[in-house]
Amino acid sequence: MKILHTSDWHIGRTFHQHSTAEALSSVLDALVALVRQHAVDVVVVAGDVFDSSTPSAPSVEELDRVLVALSATGARVVVTSGNHDSPARLGAKSAFTAAAGVHIVTRPEEHDRAVVLEDDHGPVHVYGIPYLEPALVRHRWPDARLTNQARVMGFALDNIRADIAAHGSPRSVVVAHTFVAGAEGSSCESERSITSGGVDRVPVPTFDGVTYAALGHIHRRNTLAAHVRYSGAPLHLSFSEEAAPRGAWLVTLDAVGLASVDWLDLPVPRRLVTLTGTLEELLSDESLAVHADDWVRARLLDEHRPVDPMRRLSVRFAHCAVLEHLPPVAPAAHPRRTARVLTELSDEEVIADFLVHVRDGEGPSDDERALVADVVSSVRGQAARA
């Protein structure tokens, strides 16, 4: 059985105020072509299908278009919800799509109910684990002490292993949207953390006992164990990812388990590049002409801020998206977060920064961090139910 592992489509996302709709559409078309080319049997999408819990009508139409195209290849599809998705909205049509071979798993209680697929060697049990926010699910299983993401995922995998043992299936795939310890790029600018202070990261051994764990949430590809991997996002969503390849994992199962995992590249519609130098150097250096059509982050080393730098840069680099002034000697000033940086922090980090500011450098205690994490989790839960 051939399985294509992808995640984090973030349909509806903008890139520095620019729509990604056209670029993402072309990349997802290329993904459908890979499914045809490699005769893929199953496509798994590990969460954050949409960028917003209230996706626009064009975003919903785009998802429908891609799912229909994937189904037309003959492949089955298993989709789970991520922390950006509204489970109710994403799963609204799941009762109907399942009949067409598109299984959308968004309800917490479905995490240990396998989608059973067959090949020449017998059944493969595919378990979709939607993003499990502790504040939203702990009331369902009050005896399990589901206080954080690590405990929730441990609980879910224990239930899945029990179901695997009950059915005696040697081959199983878990599709999950979560934050696993050791993932490179875990602090990428394009994704907010769903953990607090690193203590809530899910240990890799949580996924012992399954044939393959297809993960989402981290936007770079990662191999945490031979059978535990992130595919990353199919589109670059921040300059912190500019050197990261884009693609998907092609997972092949044989009669007894994991036979191979191969990387398949996806096209990059527009490259990302960071250019560093004085304004005049960036405007006059002939070697930089190759970046005229790239997304550009310009880091200016001028001692004093130049006049109208973004307009001047945009004449040469039409897609200059970010401008940073980094003089060789920074002026002495009280450290302060910029508005742009604040949008790249988690809610917990913003609160911690505020406490450092008002307490003259003293941050939150461990008890305060735990309290903040619990409150933020509850607020996220309320937003997800909206």
The packing angle between helices 57-72 and 21-37, to 10°, is: 10
Query: Torsion-angle region of residue 102: left (phi > 0), alpha (psi -120 to 50) or beta?
Result: beta
Comparison of pLDDT for 289 and 374, the residue scoring more = 289
In eight-state DSSP terms, residue 155 is H
Per-residue pLDDT band for 95 (boundaries 50, 70, 90) equals: confident
CA 40 – CA 75 distance, rounded (Å): 6
Architecture of domain 2-265: 4-Layer Sandwich (3.60)
Per-residue pLDDT band for 197 (boundaries 50, 70, 90) equals: very low
The structural domains of the chain, with segments of one domain joined by +, span 2-265, 272-325, 339-385
Q: State the average pLDDT over residues 130-137.
A: 88
Per-residue pLDDT band for 173 (boundaries 50, 70, 90) equals: very high
Q: State the average pLDDT over residues 311-338.
A: 81
Q: Return the half-sphere exposure (C-beta side, CA atoms, 13 A cut-off) of residue 36.
A: 11
Q: Return the half-sphere exposure (C-beta side, CA atoms, 13 A cut-off) of residue 265.
A: 5
Per-residue pLDDT band for 340 (boundaries 50, 70, 90) equals: low
Q: Return the half-sphere exposure (C-beta side, CA atoms, 13 A cut-off) of residue 212.
A: 28
Rounded to two decimals, the pTM is 0.82
Burial class (CB in 10 A: 0-12, 13-18, 19+), 213: buried
